[in-house]
Amino acid sequence: MFHFFTQTLGRLHPLLVHLPIGILILAILFYFLSRRERFHSLQPAVSVSLLIGFFTALLSVITGYGLSLGGDYAASAVVKHQWAGIVTVILTGATWYLHHKKHTLELGGWVAMLTGLVLTGHWGGSLTHGEGYLAGMFSPASDSDKVYTPKPIPDIEEAVVYTDIIQPILEARCYSCHSSTKQKGKLRLDQPEFILKGGEEGKVLSPGNPEQSSLIERLFLQDKDEDHMPPIEKPQPGPQELALLHWWVKTGGSFTMKVKEGQKDEKVIPALAFLKEGKAGPDKMEESWLPIKNPSSADPKLIQSLIAKGWAIVALAQGMNHLSANAIGVDSLDKQSWDLLEKLAPQLVELRLGQCAVGDADMAQVAKLKNLHRLFLENTKVTDKGLALLQPLEHIRYLNLSRTQVTPAGIKTLKPFKELRYLYLYREGVNGKLWLENAGSIPLSAIDTGGYKVPTLASDTIELTEPIKN
Amino acid sequence: MKPKHWANKPLSREAGHRVLQHFTRRHFIRESAMGLGALALGSILPGCLGKKEGNPLGMDFDPAHPMLPRAPHFPGRARSVIFIHMAGAPSQLELFSYKPELAKLDGQDCPPSLLEGKKFAFIRGVPKMLGPQAKFSQHGESGLWLSENLPHLSTVVDDMALLNAVTTDQFNHAPAQLLMQTGTPRQGRPSIGAWVTYGLGTENQNLPGFVVLTSGGNNPDAGKSVWGSGFLPSVYQGVQCRSAGDPVLFIKDPQGMDRDLRRASIDAINKINQQEYEEYKDPEILSRIAQYEMAYKMQISVPGVMDIADEPAYIHEMYGTEPGQSSFANNVLLARKLVEKGVRFIQLFDWGWDTHGDSAGNAVDVGLINKCRKVDKPITALLLDLKQRGLLDETLVVWGSEFGRTPMQENREGKQMPFKGRDHHAEAFSIWMAGGGIKGGLTYGETDEIGYSITSGKTEVYDIQATILNRLGFDHEKLTYPSQGREFRLTDLSGKVIHPILA
Amino acid sequence: MPLARKPLILLLLVVLVTGMSCLLTRSRKVDFNADIRPIFNKKCISCHGGVKQKGGFSVLFREEALANTESGKPAIIPGKPDESELIRRLTIDDPEERMPYKHDALANEEIKLLRRWIQQGAEWGTHWAYLPVEKQRLPAVEDKWIRNDIDAYILHRLHQEHLNPSAEADKATLLRRASLDLTGLPPSEAIANAFLSDNSPAAYDKLLDQLLASPAYGEKWASLWLDLARYADTRGYEADRGRTIWRYRDWVIKAFNEDKSYDRFLLEQFAGDLLPNAGEAEYIATAFHRNTLTNDEGGTENEEFRTAAVIDRVNTSWSAVLGTSFNCVQCHAHPYDPFRHEDYYKFLAFFNNTRDEDTESEYPLWRHYNSADSQRLEKVVKWVRENESEKRAAELRHFLNTWQPAINSLQCDEYVDAALVSSWHAGLRNNGTCRLPNVPLEGATELLFRYGTMRPGGKWTVTLDSLKGPVVASYILPNSKGQWNLGRLKIPAIPGRHHLYFHYYHPGINNKEETGVLFEWFRFTDPFPGKGKPGYEENLASFIALMEAKVETTPVMVENPPSLFRRSFVFERGNWLVPANEVEPDVPSVLNPLPNGRKDRLGLAEWLIDKKNPLTSRTLVNRVWEQLFGTGLAETLEDLGSQGLPPSHPELLDHLAYTLMNDHQWSLKRFLKTLMSSATYRQSSIVLEEGLRRDPLNRFYARGPRIRLSAEQLRDQALAASGLLSSKMYGPSVMPYQPEGIWLSPYNGDKWVMSEGEDQYRRSLYTYWKRTAPYPSMVTFDAGSREVCLPRRIRTNTPLQALTTLNDSAWVVMARSLAANMSKKGGASVRDQLKWGYEHLMFRKLDKAREEALQILYNEALQRFRREPKAGREILGIKETNGKEQPELAALTVVANALLNLDEWLTKN
């Protein structure tokens, strides 16, 4: 019997509850309408509907109790809903009585009943649909996964590092557990003095050396590390946020310093650049060479036809529309290929022609691919002439010219390439110095002129038969 | 039994997804069927999506083009991988792990604390400690410690991240090799190369995406399963190439059949197979057609790329290669050529590093040195050559083995071995990585003063795998494949990306 | 209106509603196996199972899960979800406490299930595969499509999935399918014609009978078993030297052909040596468990590899016969299934008491005498029986057949100026000494021993209990000229067990390094009986002759005599060097008990084939099904345990298992016939839109099987169709054509020497199987290396397979032969020749489209070979030009090569 009660009757509850709600609302409607002259005829319906409402409500309570015994729901969570339900039933009964007796308190009864109904319904709803089910409609993101969205700081150099940059990050990433509301580990980060004070494990900030500041250290721990912050379940700060925090502590963790006063490293520069435009920045530092804007997605047909010609065309990542094109599997680079590529110019950020049969003539075509950031020409017939044709490619950041016909003199034409950072020039027999002299004025972070040797040592060819005595 | 209980994927992924929500770009991952970016792929290969229903793999995967390149989860730093596995386990104590204290203990009895409850392949009773049989010194700007056994590699330490606290739980070669290469000590799971080609496809459809080269006179102890495809579609298994004889078995047409005739015969075969597909509608037939096309293309491109004779003299000088021979050096040079040609994953196995000391040939002060001399120059040449070709920063080079060797001298049957040898040691060993978004010139992880157990920076085999996948642009927890009723992944249930060594 | 009646109506309503709902919902009891175990296995067990018990909590066994955890209180309190820590930890917000730790939270549905399950008392259930096989109730479906019980189960499920079965395949397809499944070969012309021309309903039935009767049947099904038995012709590990064990392979073939019942089949392989009056055949059967690897590597610990072999016997028994991955229990309790750590070693104890000790000669070996010698043996035995005793006669027979029991010299220790030479044999240098420990002399008066020396005149002294002890024997060893010799010595009768000390002295040996003598084994016994009795001399002579006879051998299982009993221990964390408690042989308690208390291999074998054993029959049924349909009813043949995939048709699986044991009495032939008579099997394999969408992998069998043939089937089929196949059966393994440079074993000079004559074209299961370098084309088509039991071949599809069938010289030769037949038998016109070729292979008419494709290829080839006669000769493999060119034949060869590469040829439709 018990089992029947919990399992069978109980499982009717979700169905039954809707009856009293509907019916009683109706009863209320009837009641207020019936007080108008026009709807006076509704008068009798009031008490009937109220009574039916009462019994269905009663039935709901009974079945509801059965369900709660079924064990699916945390008893604690059920309590409120359960009692509200019972009270509502009583109120309904009372209201009917008052109505029947035309008692003066009748109106109060109606109101009380309505409130009971609403509360019971709400708590019931939360049980099945989870907390904040309704609230969700109004505030989409709950504070736990608050998104970090910096405001643009046009005059970044003048900004105060702590107040304008660091505090917003801390607010987004740490306040939910370390502020006035909560102090996990007895730590608050919402006021300079609290930050300096530290938590139960002592100081969290050691000005000047991030490595000794657990505030920073714990951000950089491996994701799955016990002490990693924020807890892996929470949204994680992006690399540029880390860079900023790191930089702030490195430069002394001052609460007043301005950006221009701090000495900047190569990691923080792009981060500040993003901030200037109010961008959260990419989620991986190494992508930062990419144009921030995700181009509109390319026409699949174009890509299909290129693939059919042996081209390898692939997006740089899922959900990104930037494309990379590789000709390694292409038998012959014909006019049609170039036309198709030109149509992909907006998306095409990487072009690989290494080892392929391309020469100066083709460079004119390449020059049309305005959005190229990385260009691979290694081991092709390209000469200085061809290189000169590439001027229009203002975004070029990576250029591989190793084992081409390009000469040291030729790379002078690279000067206008403002964003060029990586340059590969190795050519057999050409002295590395020559390259460097000519590349001198280009602001490169990596240049390689190759020509490495691995000398054959005497020992390389000797095969030991016994330990070396010494 | 209700199958639905065996795969409520969407639910279990919900939470993981929330973590990613603020990376708007990554929203798309959820749309992907197997973490393979249906959407990204869709925008690139609409043709594939059509096949979804008919496709036994249930992923956005065109049985006719299983190897087409696919986008990773996020932009990767590495485009291809060269994994150099020294089968047999080189001694970290004579190569990478500098232990002056151990020298002092040389010849003394091993303290029992090190032996309790430990399994050794050969050590019996109480062995003697064996001091490092090589001199160590610091190299490069980074001042990395390396032994005199690797004079060439010492010149490029500033490009290497040296992991000195790697650990495994397997103490026999075959299972340990399987764990390193497939994420499990037992057979039947896909190798890392298979996972990578499954995830990324490959850029040159005329070559296999995953090539295996072996040297040292023998295959790795665990046999072919260390480059198998396990439950993944078999096109992703490693293709073993040989640096002498036919580069790939049966790659040459029969005598008397020229290319045109072969083309004609494959046309006939595929025409009839197409016909059969019309009748039977079995997707496997499409796959067969694709394999025959691939075979034809391989026949042209493989012999070309596998012939190192066309390399200039100075390159041979650099690597110490001799065309026509079968040698580790040749395999290393081939690896570079394959990377240039867009091959995704190249796996090198060099057999013969099992230095037990039962003969001079495998003593740590004789055989080991000889092995080092065979690999030191070519590997160094590889790093420099990749560098000058602009390939190093997008090619991840991994050098490693299945486990390390004991600080004690091996004493088989309780007897002192005739030569200086070390037994298998699973608890701590060394691996290094270079290029492909790895920070150069740093050492990560430390062991105690005798190199027996780990004191910091413990690195599991799974962490190595997670890091390799990360450099290629994959979240190792999301590159999954359904088998035996659950989502499998390379790193099984563990794996942490080793952030400190990422550039 | 009067309100009094309202309540009544409402009450009525209540009763009505509740009454209805009763009928609607039967009691919703949570099913542990279906609902709870999957959650545990996926989300909890990696930290709270057999391997780890974090927080002292494990969900593997009920008693563990309800026991107190480290916190001091139990995590599950039956009936009280709200007081159960388990639920609290699953629902709590704090990431530090919430389980699964640092992983995604459980889904609400899952948590509700767990709540209700605890509410209902947190009952555990036994995994389906460990429950006994019961007789099944046939699902109530009526349909004229149904041919036998199998179809009822299949159709029932199809209806649930809203699928319809396919029509029967055409006769030609059926013919080829059945023939490949039963014989691994295309049907012979006779059988084919008989079937195709016979339109009586019984035709198919006859076909099956004919195929089942063919000797090729045994060869086909043997290759399945050889994968499981990890049969190979080499020993494995580094050196991977050869092993002569092909007689076992032949035994398997014969067993299948004579339809030896599966229970007997297992009984003989597991314990043939222990059966009453076991003969040669029973002993050869036990070679099943001698297919283990042995390591000849210098300096290896023989005991380690003996242990490894025994462990492999355990693992193989479980994967092959019980379809369960038992390996993990070697190091810890099973992470998912109810097997405990010590269960593994109790099971291991069954195998741990055999004579094999990783010796270089792989003792114990069965000695195969020629017929003359066998008769001689019978005579000697008879004579001893009559003149001495039954017991002695049996003992001598056993010795002559196996040289057992004997003590291997690798048991020696305390070497001084002596050593265990390359970990094989005790060898003594001049004045060297060593010890043979703990020898059960028990009053033996004769010492038989096998030794080898190049130096005549070396003196071997055996002393008792110490080097100074009383001399047991002293003997000048005759020169054995580098061969092994058998020596016989009188020794004084000494009771009990003793250490024997050996000393070797040779005046002529000055080189301290030179090993003067090697010993292989010692046997302590009594002289040949019956001295003085008539016929003594002659029988003694026969005895010695037989004992010394040079004979072929096969490694077999031989149990230790009581005097050499080997004890068994649990190995801590699987480490054989850290033995813990001693264990008795026994089987896991979740499964059926030992049928008759017998705690040896015979008892084990009887347990395996006991009808109460839940796994043996299910495993076999599943395997056979997989052979026919491509996937098992439970896809994971290797693991029916809770980590394996649940079966698609549990009732059918049990039905088949039950009928196999009870109706078919374990007869495989009868079982196969039932399967293949079903309408399910006879369906056409055409994939229909509907079927493909709803069931891409054909797990519900709405269509016939369509799978690529196995490595063996492919090669054998091609050999047969091209007319090359040799029908020769049995005998040593053969070496067909293989490219250079495949064998790469260090420390081993063996070479691949191509066989002569018909041996090049034997069926594939006779091909020499080298573990470290198996026959390449076989491996390309997914055959294993046979180092360990291979419970399932995963079918693949790669370009390398295409390259093999296109270019492998072996396949080119087949194409040539096929082409020759096409031109001979096909008729005058090319058209007819193409038709004949195609139909000869596929048993179906050549349609327009195909013919056109072939014709185009033919013409192209013909032109080329007309242009370049040399190319034509090369295709035909003709060196010297004997005047007349055959461009037509060459062109046909190219076509034949294409035909042998068609998907419909490589596939079973």
Structure tokens, B455:
């004191």
B291 CA to chain C: closest CA distance, Å? 5
Cβ distance C706 to B284 less than 8 Å, yes or no, reads yes
> Taking CB atoms and an 8 Å cut-off, how many pairs form between chains A and C?
57
The residue of chain B nearest to residue A324, with distances taken between CA atoms, is B71
Chain A positions in Cβ-Cβ contact with residue C81 (cut-off 8 Å): 71
Among candidates C6, C22, C27 on the partner chain, residue whose Cβ is nearest the Cβ of A51: C6
Query: Tokens 């005895």 label which residue?
Result: C543
Contact A345, A368 (CB under 8 A): yes
Residue of A216, A279, A454 to mutate, interface with B, max B Cβ within 10 Å = A454
> Taking CB atoms and an 8 Å cut-off, how many pairs form between chains B and C?
259
Cβ distance A321 to B43 less than 8 Å, yes or no, reads yes
Chain A positions in Cβ-Cβ contact with residue B47 (cut-off 8 Å): 304
For every residue of C726-765, DSSP letters joined together read: ----SSS-B-----TT----TT------PPPGGGGGS-GG
Q: What is the CA radius of gyration of chain C?
A: 34
Q: Does C199 touch chain A (CB under 8 A)?
A: no
**A323-326 and A312-315 as β-strands: parallel, antiparallel, unpaired?**
antiparallel
Q: Which helix (DSSP H) or strand (DSSP E) does residue C349 occupy?
A: helix C341-349
Q: How far apart are CA C893 and CA C812, in angstroms?
A: 8
Residue of C8, C26, C28 to mutate, interface with A, max A Cβ within 10 Å = C28
Buried-state track C764-781, b at ≥16 Cβ within 10 A, e below 16: bbbbbbbbbbbbbbbbbb
Among candidates B15, B40, B340 on the partner chain, residue whose Cβ is nearest the Cβ of A355: B340
Chain A positions in Cβ-Cβ contact with residue B45 (cut-off 8 Å): 300, 303-304, 307
Q: Does A453 touch chain C (CB under 8 A)?
A: no
The residue of chain C nearest to residue B282, with distances taken between CA atoms, is C687
A361 CA to chain B: closest CA distance, Å? 23
Chain A positions in Cβ-Cβ contact with residue B28 (cut-off 8 Å): 318-319
Q: What is the CA radius of gyration of chain A?
A: 36
Task: Kindly provide the ipTM of the predicted complex, given to two decimals.
Answer: 0.73
Average pLDDT over residues A456-460: 90
Cβ distance B268 to C898 less than 8 Å, yes or no, reads yes
Cβ distance A329 to B204 less than 8 Å, yes or no, reads yes
Residue type, C209: D
Phi and psi of A462, rounded to 5°?
Answer: -85, 135
Residue type, A298: A
Residue of A18, A54, A55 to mutate, interface with C, max C Cβ within 10 Å = A55
Q: How far apart are CA A72 and CA C108, in angstroms?
A: 10
The residue of chain A nearest to residue B313, with distances taken between CA atoms, is A428
Among candidates C7, C10, C118 on the partner chain, residue whose Cβ is nearest the Cβ of A71: C118
**What percent of chain A is predicted at pLDDT more than 90?**
20
Q: How far apart are CA C640 and CA A73, in angstroms?
A: 35
For every residue of B295-315, DSSP letters joined together read: HHHHHHHHHHHT-GGGS-HHH
Phi and psi of C498, rounded to 5°?
Answer: -145, 155
Contact B345, B191 (CB under 8 A): no
DSSP single-letter state for residue B149: T
Chain C positions in Cβ-Cβ contact with residue A233 (cut-off 8 Å): 95
DSSP single-letter state for residue C123: -
* pLDDT at residue B15, as a whole number: 25
The residue of chain A nearest to residue B321, with distances taken between CA atoms, is A456
The residue of chain B nearest to residue A375, with distances taken between CA atoms, is B390
Q: Which residues pair with B283 in a beta bridge?
A: none
Cβ distance B358 to C299 less than 8 Å, yes or no, reads yes
Structure tokens, C356:
């094999």
* pLDDT at residue A131, as a whole number: 54
Q: How far apart are CA C786 and CA C224, in angstroms?
A: 12
A227 contact partners, CB below 8 Å, separation of at least 6: A218, A221
* pLDDT at residue A145, as a whole number: 42
Q: Return the number of other C-beta atoms located less than 10 Å from residue A59's C-beta.
A: 24
Q: Does B26 touch chain A (CB under 8 A)?
A: yes
A199 CA to chain C: closest CA distance, Å? 18
For residue C353, the SS3 value is coil
Q: Does B208 touch chain A (CB under 8 A)?
A: no
Chain B positions in Cβ-Cβ contact with residue A176 (cut-off 8 Å): none
Chain B positions in Cβ-Cβ contact with residue C890 (cut-off 8 Å): 256
Which stretches of chain C score pLDDT less than 50?
A: 1-3, 22-27
A269 contact partners, CB below 8 Å, separation of at least 6: none
A117 CA to chain B: closest CA distance, Å? 33
Q: How far apart are CA A172 and CA A238, in angstroms?
A: 12
Residue type, C296: D
Q: How far apart are CA C249 and CA C734, in angstroms?
A: 13
Q: How far apart are CA A30 and CA A35, in angstroms?
A: 9
Q: Which helix (DSSP H) or strand (DSSP E) does residue C72 occupy?
A: none
Structure tokens, A423:
């340059």
Chain C positions in Cβ-Cβ contact with residue B291 (cut-off 8 Å): 797-799, 801-802
A135 contact partners, CB below 8 Å, separation of at least 6: none
Among candidates A286, A320, A400 on the partner chain, residue whose Cβ is nearest the Cβ of B77: A286
Cβ distance B496 to A225 less than 8 Å, yes or no, reads yes
The residue of chain B nearest to residue C894, with distances taken between CA atoms, is B265
**A422-424 β-sheet, strand order:** A312-315, A323-326, A348-352, A374-376, A398-400, A422-424, A446-448
Q: Which residues pair with C419 in a beta bridge?
A: C427
Q: How far is CA A176 from the centre of its chain?
A: 18
For residue C313, the SS3 value is helix
Partners for A (CB, 8 Å, 3+ pairs)?
B, C
Q: Does C25 touch chain A (CB under 8 A)?
A: yes
pLDDT, tens digit (0-9, with 9 covering 90-100), for A70-107:
666 767 768 888 888 889 888 888 888 888 888 888 88
Q: Which of C439, C457, C444, C464 shows the shortest CA–CA distance to C504? A: C457
Higher pLDDT among residues A160 and C682, named by residue: C682
Q: Does C21 touch chain A (CB under 8 A)?
A: yes
Which stretches of chain B score pLDDT less than 50?
A: 1-61, 484-485
pLDDT, tens digit (0-9, with 9 covering 90-100), for B182-223:
998 766 689 999 999 999 999 998 888 999 999 887 778 777
C808 CA to chain B: closest CA distance, Å? 5
Chain C positions in Cβ-Cβ contact with residue B271 (cut-off 8 Å): 849, 853
Q: Which residues pair with C521 in a beta bridge?
A: C408, C450
Among candidates A220, A317, A402 on the partner chain, residue whose Cβ is nearest the Cβ of B72: A317
pTM, two decimals, is: 0.74
Among candidates C3, C21, C112 on the partner chain, residue whose Cβ is nearest the Cβ of A72: C112
Q: Which helix (DSSP H) or strand (DSSP E) does residue C462 occupy?
A: strand C458-464
Structure tokens, A329:
């599997």
Q: How far apart are CA C842 and CA C402, in angstroms?
A: 50
Cβ distance A315 to B40 less than 8 Å, yes or no, reads yes
Chain B positions in Cβ-Cβ contact with residue A210 (cut-off 8 Å): none
* pLDDT at residue B16, as a whole number: 26
Q: How far apart are CA B203 and CA A356, in angstroms?
A: 14
Mean pLDDT of chain A: 82
Chain A positions in Cβ-Cβ contact with residue C18 (cut-off 8 Å): 8-9, 12
Structure tokens, C654:
């049990």
Whether A65 shows a pLDDT value over 70: the answer reads: yes
B102 CA to chain C: closest CA distance, Å? 26
Q: Does B418 touch chain C (CB under 8 A)?
A: no
A8 CA to chain C: closest CA distance, Å? 6
C416 CA to chain A: closest CA distance, Å? 26
Cβ distance C25 to A74 less than 8 Å, yes or no, reads no
The residue of chain C nearest to residue A63, with distances taken between CA atoms, is C18
Q: How far apart are CA B156 and CA B503, in angstroms?
A: 17
Partners for B (CB, 8 Å, 3+ pairs)?
A, C
C243 contact partners, CB below 8 Å, separation of at least 6: C232, C233, C234, C235, C362, C555
Contact A413, A399 (CB under 8 A): no
